């Protein structure tokens, strides 16, 4: 079955929230420290985490290489490929707000 068109702006917001909570779960308090650790320019990363631009595949792959953050988690919200400790911390942060 073919899916209808998806809302890119909504996807950007969902990815942004997953990035924010993942960054915090990994212990990075700032976007600058997180993006630097991944080898991404802060000026390129910031609009992605705020949801004003969709995460590029190139950035997603850098995040995977550095932190093991799967594309399934970032784009689809599927946590199953994340390491258990990261999955648990994300759940805790989501629960505790």
Per-residue confidence band for 2, with pLDDT thresholds at 50, 70 and 90: very low
Sequence-distant (≥ 6) Cβ neighbours of residue 44 within 8 angstroms: 35, 59
Decide: residue 13, CB within 10 A, 0-12 exposed, 13-18 middle, 19+ buried. Answer: middle
Check pLDDT > 90 for residue 97: no
Class of the domain covering 8-96 = mainly alpha
Q: How many CA atoms lie within 13 A of 22 on its CB side?
A: 28
Query: What pLDDT score does 5 carry?
Result: 56
Query: What pLDDT score does 7 carry?
Result: 85
The pTM assigned to this predicted structure is 0.91
Where do the domains of the chain lie?
8-96
């Amino acid at each position: 079955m073919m899916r209808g068109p998806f809302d890119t702006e909504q996807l950007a917001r969902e990815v942004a929230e997953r990035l924010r909570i993942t960054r915090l779960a990994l212990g990075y308090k700032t976007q600058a420290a997180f993006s630097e650790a991944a080898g991404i320019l802060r000026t390129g990363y910031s609009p992605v985490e705020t949801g004003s631009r969709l995460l590029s595949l190139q950035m997603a792959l850098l995040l995977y290489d550095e932190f093991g953050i799967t594309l399934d988690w970032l784009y689809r919200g599927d946590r199953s490929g994340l390491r258990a400790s990261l999955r648990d911390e994300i759940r805790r942060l989501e629960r505790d707000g």
